[in-house]
Amino acid sequence: MDSQGAIFPFGKIAPAESEVRTMTKLYYQGHGSYRFTTADGRVVYFDPYAGDGYDLPADIILVTHGHGDHNQIGLVARKPGCRVITYEDALAGDRHNSFDVDGFLVEAVEAKNLIHNPKSCVGYILSFDGLKIYCSGDTSKTGQMAAFAARGLDYAIFCGDGVFNMGLREAAECARIVGAKRNIVIHLKPGALFDRAKADKWDAPNKLIIEPGEEIAL
């Protein structure tokens, strides 16, 4: 099977087990929390709070803002020298900063919603393993999104709860603006890990649904 669970077409050979182990992976923990494992085995957590899967020691922890459902870094096992990048680091000097953590590139971008001032929250564009991934964090549509289409993003991960953040319609509009090859929606229901019914209704191009506890190869 391929990374989305489809059978390999005739003539395509599934990767050997040793190759599968070195694939870049995304594990969705639930709500706004997920984890990347790079091809060389580094582990990167995004907005730790929900679900399980915090036992793999982290090389990098990314935090988009100060709300308790996004910044529980104490849940995460850490390797010596683990790099924690928070929204405060990302916005130091009143600008959106970028970080190069041994070749794992982290670029802070604008985020804002009804209760989040853009001076106290961010999204991130991550570049690693030949991939570019937009991680929106908690936000509504921003002015910077129009420029992302030229970046050739492989994946974009959007919130879509529609409470203080953008809802499904606006998140679909943002997916079209950003123009990533694959689009993922999370953060769909406050107090819940996920809402599959809402995810199924999301009318975004090239949609990919990931359930909490599911890990995919990117």
What's the mean pLDDT in 6-11?
34
What's the mean pLDDT in 185-189?
98
pLDDT tier at 116 (50, 70, 90 boundaries)?
confident
Q: Are strands 122-128 and 131-135 parallel, antiparallel or unpaired?
A: antiparallel
pTM comes to 0.89
Domains contained in the chain, number: 1
| CATH number of the domain encompassing residue 192 | 3.60.15.10
At 83, list the tokens: 């790099």
pLDDT in tens, 136-161: 999 999 999 999 999 999 999 999 99
Kindly state whether residue 12 falls inside one of the protein's structural domains: no
Q: State yes or no: pLDDT of 183 exceeds 70.
A: yes
Kindly state whether residue 10 falls inside one of the protein's structural domains: no
Kindly state whether residue 178 falls inside one of the protein's structural domains: yes
Kindly state whether residue 2 falls inside one of the protein's structural domains: no
Q: State yes or no: pLDDT of 104 exceeds 90.
A: yes
Kindly state whether residue 197 falls inside one of the protein's structural domains: yes
pLDDT tier at 22 (50, 70, 90 boundaries)?
low
pLDDT at 3: 37
Determine the structural domain holding residue 177 and report its residue range.
17-217
Kindly state whether residue 9 falls inside one of the protein's structural domains: no
Q: State yes or no: pLDDT of 9 exceeds 90.
A: no
pLDDT tier at 17 (50, 70, 90 boundaries)?
very low
Q: What is the mean pLDDT of the chain?
A: 92
Q: Which residues pair with 131 in a beta bridge?
A: 128
What's the mean pLDDT in 64-87?
97
Kindly state whether residue 135 falls inside one of the protein's structural domains: yes
Kindly state whether residue 8 falls inside one of the protein's structural domains: no
DSSP secondary structure, 117-178, as one string? -TTSBEEEEEEETTEEEEE--S----TTHHHHGGG--SEEEEE---SSS--HHHHHHHHHHH
pLDDT tier at 64 (50, 70, 90 boundaries)?
very high
